[in-house]
Structure 1
């Protein structure tokens, strides 16, 4: 299915969590001069206008990045993310929300390398146009799940793999975990981030158990919910399952999550930051 378009949801509370964690991981990688590799299985269009019709239809960004954009003070754990957002909006007006690839480009050095996969033809074309002059970025219109087999392991031994499917199809919950495990088995030194929506809690429970059964060690789980779990239609929260998290990430997120909860969901207090599987 190719009906999902992230432009309708860009900059929402789920993007804030996903991208603030991604930026913290990138900050960790660039502390060393050694090159890193980045792979994005479901890249989207790369950049999203918040002033055009798709974003304006639901205005999900109003309960996301817009709540953080004008803050005069914020915790240091949020600064890498906010700095990358500001770099995309140099005129100090929030009009563009960068997708994961554009955020990563903010951290891309001459010797780093990025591979992006997007199946939707329109989003793929936008992605190609966005990065047409960047030599270190390779873009393919193909299934990102399949890329975890074809592109891994990379010749660079440090890096991040972001798995961020739409979960339009129910079986994608199981498929995402299976591909995460497959990818880790091919690139065990990489940092893996698997994003998931909280729509039905039983699906998340099954994903967690699949990972426990895999015998992979050192898995961190982070989650931010803006409403109680529900059997009704709609996302009440989102989370990340992180294999090989940077050593400071757990402590950073224990400081960041309460701040996000206060700013984005003061009416409901549920965040999770725990080692699903210890080292």
Structure 2
């Protein structure tokens, strides 16, 4: 694998993913019982947007950079921006939180987080970034295989009835990745059926997504919700036009929280032809 997330940290896809991730975490933390989170493709958890690697693409300028200027007054986005600013208060003005940092920020002392990263350099940085937080276990291993090893989760005598599994692969294998993802989700749902599952996916050509979404709708989950942000028309073959999250077993009424956030992100980050999509593939019963 040659992928390095630092090239894309803070871009429009990260913004969408992290706004939704925090909304899910806040819903989980609103109930008193402890929960467990698994991040299957964690990266290093903390990025420097002024580093040479990040500046090589400059993608954050049209993502978090633009959003910090626009500052839409929508609760889910305000929550996300507050988390970014909390990260910068500790780590410096150019810091950007990856999903492990946001999980650690949003969840509680009684909750537990497992972060998987296959690349040794990134895993080492991840371990160093969270060395002082005993809620977080870092696993230098394949995140897909970790689903079988770590679910259903337990910590000592605690068996977790609630939680989140975030699957955010680099899609280096292109469309073949969807087959792996679907198999992983099927197994994970069988092992821990009550968890919320959040799968990030890129949107390049719409027709390429349709077979995957049809199969995803048939997974044995209580509900399946799509949330997409396209910052340009979805028929451009040259680059990623947007991204989406598939939420399985999503928290109650999360669609009501995400609807205004998606529209605000389209206004703040979109080019002509930008669009959003919030659709139930399987409505909650």
- State whether structure 2 residue 200 is matched by structure 1 residue 200: no
Counterpart of 1:156 in structure 2 is 160
Q: Whole-Å Cα distance in 1 between the matches of residues 71 and 219 of structure 2?
A: 44
Counterpart of 1:130 in structure 2 is 129
Instruction: Name whichever of 138-147 and 205-214 sits farther off.
Output: 205-214
Counterpart of 1:278 in structure 2 is 283
- Aligned to 1:90, what secondary structure does the other structure show? helix
- State whether structure 2 residue 240 is matched by structure 1 residue 240: no
Runs of 4+ more than 3 Å apart: 70-73, 91-94
Counterpart of 2:57 in structure 1 is 58
Where do 1:233-272 residues align within 5 Å? 233-272=238-277
Alpha-carbon distance, 1:34 to partner: 1.4
TM-score between both structures, scaled by the size of structure 2: 0.93
Q: Whole-Å Cα distance in 2 between the matches of residues 116 and 93 of structure 1?
A: 23
Instruction: Name whichever of 95-104 and 260-269 sits farther off.
Output: 260-269
- Aligned to 1:214, what secondary structure does the other structure show? coil
Please tell me whether the aligned partners of residues 25 and 107 of structure 2 are also in contact (alpha carbons under 8 angstroms): no
Instruction: Name whichever of 230-239 and 50-59 sits farther off.
Output: 230-239
**Deviations, residues 93-150 of structure 1 (Å, cap 9, x unaligned):** 7401110000111123221100010001110010010111211111111000011111
Please tell me whether the aligned partners of residues 12 and 62 of structure 2 are also in contact (alpha carbons under 8 angstroms): yes
Alpha-carbon distance, 1:71 to partner: 4.2
Counterpart of 1:166 in structure 2 is 170
Instruction: Name whichever of 239-248 and 265-274 sits farther off.
Output: 265-274
- State whether structure 2 residue 226 is matched by structure 1 residue 221: yes
Q: Whole-Å Cα distance in 1 between the matches of residues 110 and 88 of structure 2?
A: 25
Question: CA-atom RMSD, angstroms?
Answer: 1.6
Alpha-carbon distance, 1:72 to partner: 5.4
Counterpart pick for 2:191 among 186, 190, 197 = 186
Alpha-carbon distance, 1:202 to partner: 2.9
Alpha-carbon distance, 1:90 to partner: 1.3
Alpha-carbon distance, 1:201 to partner: 2.1
Q: Whole-Å Cα distance in 1 between the matches of residues 88 and 82 of structure 2?
A: 10
- State whether structure 2 residue 217 is matched by structure 1 residue 212: yes
Q: 1:214 to 1:28 in 2, by over 3 A?
A: closer
Counterpart of 1:177 in structure 2 is 182
Q: Whole-Å Cα distance in 2 between the matches of residues 215 and 92 of structure 1?
A: 41
Q: 1:172 to 1:59 in 2, by over 3 A?
A: same
Q: 1:267 to 1:251 in 2, by over 3 A?
A: same
Please tell me whether the aligned partners of residues 27 and 80 of structure 1 are also in contact (alpha carbons under 8 angstroms): no
Structure 1 unmatched runs, 5+: none
Q: Whole-Å Cα distance in 2 between the matches of residues 276 and 94 of structure 1?
A: 40
Please tell me whether the aligned partners of residues 121 and 141 of structure 1 are also in contact (alpha carbons under 8 angstroms): yes
- State whether structure 2 residue 102 is matched by structure 1 residue 103: yes
Please tell me whether the aligned partners of residues 118 and 141 of structure 2 are also in contact (alpha carbons under 8 angstroms): yes
Counterpart of 1:10 in structure 2 is 9
Q: Whole-Å Cα distance in 2 between the matches of residues 91 and 5 of structure 1?
A: 24
Alpha-carbon distance, 1:73 to partner: 5.1
- Aligned to 2:81, what secondary structure does the other structure show? helix
Instruction: Name whichever of 199-208 and 25-34 sits farther off.
Output: 199-208
Aligned residue pairs total 278
Counterpart of 2:38 in structure 1 is 39
**Deviations, residues 29-82 of structure 1 (Å, cap 9, x unaligned):** 111221110000000011110011111011100110011224455211212211
